[in-house]
Structure 1
Amino acid sequence: MEYWDIEDYLEEIKYLLTEYDEMTEEIILEWEEKARECIIKMSDGKKIKMKNEDDIQIAVKDEQIFWDMALKYHNYYRKKQIDEYWKEFDVTKAY
């Protein structure tokens, strides 16, 4: 297991989202903003370590999670089920 800084974590997923034609810069930036809010709320001290809003570390077991998260968002976006996506969003389960 390794810990990724929240900025690197989000950047990795944002980069992968650019692979999908439907994902405009605006959509990706909206995803980033909401994901950041959710991660801060989920801080548990184990899988998400937060000293402050600028120093957040997220546990990553396998980098495949980045692909999985980008694909999941893309699929929910295409189905127009974004609200459902955010209800299920949980980076601690990804670990």
Structure 2
Amino acid sequence: MTIAQSFETSRRHGLAFPEASEDFPWGHTALKVRGKTFVWLNAGEAALSMTVKLPVSRDSPRASTGPSPPATALAAPAGSPPGSGRMTSSSSTF
């Protein structure tokens, strides 16, 4: 699966939720339910980037253990709100 196909599959899956909508702040795709963003998507040349809200772990300390095969990592970007995380992959499969 290509990065573009992974992006479109992720986008369609997110939009399948009841009351889901799509917005484009800061040049990225944001998927929302009732106006609240739950995932940001960005398809770059080398990877699909997903920034997601993680309500279960929102109060846990943030730590990145580094990438795991196939070069996938989950970490909260600096300055992000509690409960946020970003998943990136240099592979085109998830």
Name the TM tier (shorter chain).
0.3 to 0.5
With normalisation by structure 2, the TM-score equals 0.37
Q: In terms of Rg, which structure is larger?
A: 2
Taking CA–CA contacts closer than 8 Å with sequence separation of 6 or more, which of the two structures ends up with the larger relative contact order? 1
Q: Which has the higher strand share?
A: 2
Q: Larger helix proportion, structure 1 or 2?
A: 1
